[in-house]
Structure 1
Amino acid sequence: MITVRSSDARGRGNHGWLDSRHSFSFADYYDPAHMGFSALLVINEDQVMPGEGFGTHGHRDMEIISYVLEGVIAHKDSEGNVQQLPAGEFQLMSAGSGIRHSEYNASESNGLRFLQIWIEPDQLGGKPGYQQKNFGRRNGLTLVISPNGEAGSLQLRQNAKLYQVLLDPQQHLTYASKPGRRQYIHLVKGALTLGKTPLGPGDGASIENLRELDLLAGEAPVEALLFDLP
């Protein structure tokens, strides 16, 4: 079964310095029909004005992924990590027993657009952690996050995987699902057909009880994220 979450149906929070689209309930946006999917709790598409950002605040017991689409994030946290996260890179912050951090647009003249993703961990507490990596632009499926850090991926505290999907125009790809697993696709750009279901930029699709996912790119290159979830 495929259930589409269309881009224009997402919740919105516009705070002047921040314009955010929420695929699931978040902060002041509440929709009981969209409270997450499996361990995936948050996908926010955040656009941050130049020089603005999220001041120091705390998290615990959450796996927080940032994927920069445009611009650069300036990151600082209570574990001593001070980093720049440019477009194309993935960041994974494991909040564990508690971490405080800030995320700002590193530019005073250019905008910042990134995906903020929260995944619920399968273990509570533990030492906070920080990981960051650029996985390049390899065509097809690239594993970027996994439970054991296989193939050089970032290591997540949950039995879930995240793939970067990059397809050329009209390229076809098949993803095999294991029994009992669920998937979620978030389309970043391009047009994608999932089976017979069309998706456009910003659309999401939750997938249950399918043995294979057939992905077909449209007339333009496709960029998407594929989550494999418990």
Structure 2
Amino acid sequence: MSNLSHAKIVPRPSKTRGAANHGWLDTKHTFSFGGWYNPKYMNYGSLRVLNEDRVQPGEGFPTHHHQNAEIFSYILSGELTHRDSMQKKGAESEDKNKFFRLHRGDVQFTTGGRGISHSEYNEHDKDWVHFLQIWVLPHKRNLPPIYHTSTFSDEEKRKGFVTIITPLKAGPNATLEEEKAAVPTKEGTIPIHSDLVFSAGIIPTGNSFSYTIGGGDLVTSKTDRKVYVHFPETKGGKAKLRLDGREDAILKEGDGAYVSHVNAGDVLKFESVGDAEAEVVVIDGSNDE
């Protein structure tokens, strides 16, 4: 039975995503990206890119430039090595915000701001890497570029939704000092220059988790949030999700869902109704970006 009768939930089947297999890269695009363009799927609020990528060993994305986007990678399996333009191979830093070999549970975040270059490679000798790459439009252009890398455990995600990214506490009018301090709204999370919360959970079979829209009081815009649910392909099709108790909102792996007409404090129920635990991410943005 629905707990959010006022909410509009529109499933997005995996088959409607853009898809390309380049041999070394198997990629699926929720929104228009690269060589795949569909005017129906340009963005959802401030969410601009959601790619599910698999990269073979020894391959990756060479040094490339980013500007005026908040970009983060969520590692599902395998290993992804991130290097910025100042950290060349063979001259690695111990500072994981500059160089880091990412594994499952790690999230690497980049504020492109006025411009920054980095590379992402799978340097493992035999395993493919499977990860989500997500781009969000910031609330201000030409910000100071910065990196953050943090780890969020599967153990905690199996207990309930783990909050990973929250808005910069100082907000759109942050000073340079506040930008450098990079204090998030919720301690222990990664700060983003957007009124957005990113969370993840791993729901055991037969169990349900509740997600509170806006993280409760973590966002500024409280009404008419734009929430996107993505259900990564991690269990070979064995996992399934039901949203808000609705029979017309059952998701298979690779599917997503647009959730609208919801407000901060509303509670969205997720049920794992398949034969394997269900890993899911929630991108909870405002309606005014």
TM-score, normalized by the shorter chain, greater than 0.5 = yes
Which 5+ residue runs of structure 1 have no aligned equivalent? none
1:141 is matched with 161
1:79 Cα deviation from its structure 2 partner: 5.0
User: Which amino acid is 2:228 matched to?
Assistant: Y
User: Which amino acid is 1:144 matched to?
Assistant: I
Which 5+ residue runs of structure 2 have no aligned equivalent? 1-7, 88-97, 169-183, 214-221
CA contact (8 A) 2:160 2:210 kept: no
Q: Is it true that 1:21 corresponds to 2:23 in the alignment?
A: no
Alignment of 1:120-199 (within 5 A): 120-137=137-154, 138=156, 139-148=159-168, 149=184, 150-177=186-213, 178-188=222-232, 189=234, 190-195=239-244, 196=246, 197-199=249-251
2:10 is matched with 3
Q: Is it true that 1:82 corresponds to 2:99 in the alignment?
A: yes
- Which whole-Å deviations, capped at 9, do the CAs of 1:37-69 have from their partners, x for residues lacking one? 110111111111110010111010001110111
**Residues paired across the two proteins, number:** 230
Structure richer in strand, relative to its length: 1
For the residues of structure 2 that align with 1:49 and 1:13, how far apart are their CA atoms? 14
The alignment-based identity, stated in percent, is: 35
For the residues of structure 1 that align with 2:272 and 2:257, how far apart are their CA atoms? 15
For the residues of structure 2 that align with 1:113 and 1:16, how far apart are their CA atoms? 14
User: Which amino acid is 1:214 matched to?
Assistant: K
For the residues of structure 1 that align with 2:42 and 2:62, how far apart are their CA atoms? 25
User: Which amino acid is 2:23 matched to?
Assistant: G
> Judging changes above 3 Å, is the alpha-carbon distance between structure 1 residues 228 and 192 closer, same or farther for their aligned structure 2 residues?
same
- Which whole-Å deviations, capped at 9, do the CAs of 1:162-217 have from their partners, x for residues lacking one? 01122122222333434221211001242110121100111110110134422111
Larger Cα-atom Rg:
2
CA contact (8 A) 2:42 2:48 kept: yes
1:95 is matched with 112
CA contact (8 A) 2:76 2:131 kept: yes
Q: Normalization by structure 2: what TM-score?
A: 0.76
